[in-house]
Amino acid sequence: MDVKDQALEVLRRLKKQYPHAKTALNFRNPFELLVATILSAQTTDAHVNKVTEGLFMKYACIKDYADAPIETLGKDVSSINFYRTKAKHIREAARIIVEKFHSEVPKTMDELTSLPGVARKTANIVLSNAFGLHEGIAVDTHVKRVAYRLGLTRNEDPLKVERDLMAIVPRKQWGPFSHLLILHGREICQARKPKHKECPLYSICPSRDL
């Protein structure tokens, strides 16, 4: 099958395997998702959720983050990798959103990526999961690895992988497709030892004998 048919078959099989696929990050509003996603870089979602459980109780609104002393905010997320940089990004993003966007998280790729600590992956996660908008496909290490193994891309640069996937996956499925590949990468198509015997994609995977 050609690469578009391959993508559609992957989508069909993974939807059956993971019917309730969604982001693993806990949040109640768009800004909380933005905070959680910034914190999640090089940190597990499970650990981020532990940290944000208390964080979201302490900081009730965007202005709370904007007004927080950086030392205090840093201490609140100090168990997270690169917490000083992430705390700075979160506070500065909050200030910009309050001052420039009237305390509303922006809903466009250009506006979101203008915020400190927000690149395309983070913006895609926020747009898709908080607003139901599909401007691109969030590419993390799982998406990159699984897409490459399935022959959906021959690139390893996340921006090029995203471009390749956007060309072959229906737009309405861009958000769900990312969640499906992430779940599959975590549970079955693992980096060191893929679980071939459990894989619903084994019969169509070009990497199955590698």
Burial of 140 (0-12, 13-18, 19+ CB in 10 A): middle
What φ, ψ does residue 153 adopt, rounded to 5°? -155, 155
Active-site residue identified among 140, 164, 197, 209: 140
Please indicate whether residue 140 is annotated as part of the active site: yes
Please indicate whether residue 121 is annotated as part of the active site: yes
Residues in the chain: 210
Give the pair of three-digit tokens for residue 208: 């199955």
Cα 135 from Cα 124, distance rounded (Å)? 7
Active-site residue identified among 86, 121, 144, 164: 121
Active site residues: 121, 140
